[in-house]
Amino acid sequence: MKTVADLGDLSGKRVLIRCDLNVPLDDDRQITDDGRIRASVPTLQQLREAGARVVVMAHLGRPKGQVKPEFSLAPAAARLSERLGTEVRLATDVVGESARQVVDGLADGEVAMLENVRFEPAEESKDADERAALAKAYAAFGDVFVSDGFGVVHRKQASVYDVAQLLPTAAGSLVQAEVEVLQRLTSDPARPYAVVLGGAKVSDKLAVIDNLLKTADTLLVGGGMVFTFLAAQGHAVGKSLLEEDQVETVRGYLAEAERTGKQIVLPTDIVVAPEFKADAPASVVAADAIPSDQLGLDIGPESAEAFSAAIRSSATVFWNGPMGVAEWEAFAGGTRAVAQALTEVDGLSVVGGGDSAAAVRALGFADDAFGHISTGGGASLEYLEGKQLPGLDALG
């Protein structure tokens, strides 16, 4: 995989760079977590210091090929300007007249940003020719291409994959760092190796569970997905989230773990409430005795301590997915306990992006308290599944 240093002298050259600036916004379009923006800064500063003329491509949300003002990159451009300490000029279109003028107006060391690439229907097209045509328009803005948006490398999209076929290409420092960490998780990880999985649905993580049962020593399961595991053990789960069509598959995972000597650790207690509301009255019940009129919204305190002990005793830990409804204080205890335990690991601790990364920041943990916080939850999981990621394949 080539690096920015392999591109040679970049002074005066236009560097087209794919970043992942898909940050969460509140109802007032204010950024609630700028972790991905901060993670993009080192490569952008490296390019600026090299005298490059930097052209940023990125997306925000899912406008699905339509120009929707609520998905404009304006908030990201403003915050990136603050983080870089220099103006990032945002074009009002993606490959139109505004984009051409903004790019043409760049001086050495300056940064411009194209509007949301997902405003272009061809960006996410399944038709390779459509994507290639758009990629050609992107490539007209650059002399070289740098891939630094790890959160999208699992997507075969014009600004991720196709443009890399048209220009000299390298990986930015963010993509390099992410790949190095994931290689450590998949190639002879230090043991004991524990994986903590949460989030709503077990169906979202079937492939990664299947693959991790081959590599990890212990799998700790929380979040909404845990109720399908409990049901597979024959327990009633009340009104909790349950994917009945996955119960048999999960039963197979439990049997496979027992056969191969791997541990799948499930909660022994659950925080429940009568309804899905932040202020619903919470109580703690045994995991095998959830009342029919209650739904589980977090792992219980006994389970949080057991999970924490397993994490602290591991040399390698990967975590993806909160243990409960972490944005509600009454149901954030499990997630907070897991995050705290990860900060105490004597080895490699990895927060696998997405909701987990947002949760640890919202709970007040500093990024540098962990070994690594990934910027790409989906990309990280697909890498751990053993899948080929188009955006990485394009880098050679």
* pLDDT one-digit tens code per residue, 366-396: 999 999 999 988 899 999 988 899 999 999 7
List residues bridging with 3 in a β-sheet.
Answer: 171
d(CA 229, CA 287): 11
Residue 151 falls in the annotated catalytic set: no
pLDDT at 378: 87
pLDDT at 17: 98
Place of tokens 């496979």: 256
Residue 149 falls in the annotated catalytic set: no
Residue 378 falls in the annotated catalytic set: yes
Binding residues for substrate: 20-22, 36, 59-62, 118, 155
Name every residue whose Cβ is closer than 8 Å to that of residue 315 and which is 6 or more positions away in sequence.
189, 190, 191, 192, 193, 345, 346, 347, 348
Residue 354 falls in the annotated catalytic set: yes
pLDDT at 385: 87
Other beta carbons within 10 Å of 104: 11
pLDDT at 207: 86
Other beta carbons within 10 Å of 213: 16
Candidates 38, 89, 100, 201; catalytic one? 201
pLDDT at 201: 87
Which one-letter DSSP state was computed for residue 198? Answer: -
Which domains does the chain show, CATH number per domain? 4-173 (3.40.50.1260), 181-385 (3.40.50.1260)
Residues (pLDDT < 50) of the chain are none
Candidates 238, 354, 376, 377; catalytic one? 354
pLDDT at 288: 97
Q: Are 357 and 378 in contact (CB under 8 A)?
A: no
d(CA 346, CA 360): 19
Dihedral sign for Cα 314, 318, 322, 324, please: negative
d(CA 171, CA 15): 12
